[in-house]
Amino acid sequence: MTTMNRPRGRSRSRSFRLCCRAPRMRMWVSMRSGSGVEGTEVKPDRTPRADRSSERGESGSARAPPLAPSASVRPVWSMWSTFLTPAGRACCAVVLLWLIGGCSLVTRPVPPPAPSGTSPRADAGAPAGETRVPDDWFEEGIASWYGNPFHGRQTASGERYDMEGPTAAHQTLPFGTVVDVYNLDNGARTRLRINDRGPFVGGRVIDVSRRGARELGMLGPGTARVRIAIVESPEPQSCWQVQAGSFTSETNAAEARVRMDQAGFRARIVTASGGRHRVILGPYGSADEADRVAARTEGFVLDC
């Protein structure tokens, strides 16, 4: 062992020798607690493992050589080192994509067909631009009512809104459809005619007039759970129209209507229950005619 210089003024102390094992090397580290030794002594053991004699004193028994690893068994560190290579990472990426693709191939159950109480669909036998609703159609949901400031304004059908009339607004039912509205909370019923579009609040299915709300017993609460059933469907009519603009300001809508009239189009302002003022052109006899008008006015075709 190499003798290292001991700083002056420090007392002797007991020496500790530690043994650290490393692959193919044994290191002996000499440490002197409190002796001021500033370095360590490393003595590698370079004796081949197969030629070493007994390491257990004088017994003379040699340590058994380590078992050779099986060809089919790989150390854990060796497998991890394989995955850390570029080829291993690419293989992992391929396997991960395969697993994700397998998850996406899981077949979802086919949803049941929607009940007849959903939004009405056009009859395949109806002419273009016309809508027919099955007689057994019904719908359930939340109803609301509207009065002022829409009283006296033009509805989506072109009529003047009368809040004391037996009318209602629906998003999809053809204008002129007569429906029975049942209050599911108190059993009240009223018969109304659809002449407007709405409501435009999520979760609501119909806007009734103030008269209808009074007959349903929902004038105070403002809303009620209802069931809508068709009593009479109107004769199908062609109703291709063009919307040339939609405004929150009634003044801006009036100015747009004047411009459309000066350009030779039949224009009117329709105020929906949501407060939007729409400039509507038509109706027109065919979809082609409505498309031509929409292209000239930069509007879009409305299909009822």
Residues 228 and 244 in one domain: no
What are the phi and psi torsion angles at 297 (to 5°)?
Answer: -100, 0
How far is residue 228 from each of residues 113, 136, 168, 205, 206, measured CA to CA in Å? 20, 11, 11, 9, 9
Are 227 and 292 in a shared domain? no
Domain annotation covers residue 73: no
Same domain assignment for residues 170 and 208: yes
The reply to whether 102 falls in a domain is no
Neighbour tally for 136: CB within 10 Å: 9
Give the per-residue pLDDT at 92: 74
Task: Name 235's bridge partners.
Answer: none
Q: Is 23 contained in some domain?
A: yes
261 and 220 housed in the same domain: no
Contacts 24+ apart (CB under 8 A), 132-135: 132/233, 132/236, 133/173, 133/174, 133/177, 133/230, 133/233, 135/230, 135/233
Kindly report the CATH number assigned to the domain that includes residue 185.
2.40.40.10
**Residue 115 included in any domain:** no
Locate 225 and state its tokens. 């759970």
Pair 193, 254 in one domain: no
Assess if residue 163 is contained within a domain. Answer: yes
221, 183 in Cβ contact below 8 A? no
pLDDT value at 167 more than 90: yes
Residue 269: give the domain boundaries: 240-302
Distances (CA, A) of 102 to 88, 94, 185, 204: 21, 12, 49, 41
Q: Which of 44-58, 100-114, 174-188, 273-287 has the highest mean pLDDT?
A: 174-188
Is the same domain home to 177 and 217?
yes
The answer to whether residues 212 and 254 belong to one domain is: no
How many domains does the structure of the chain reveal? 3
| Mean pLDDT of the region 26-39 | 46
Average pLDDT over residues 18-23: 48
In a domain, 82, yes or no: no
For residue 190, what pLDDT is reported? 96
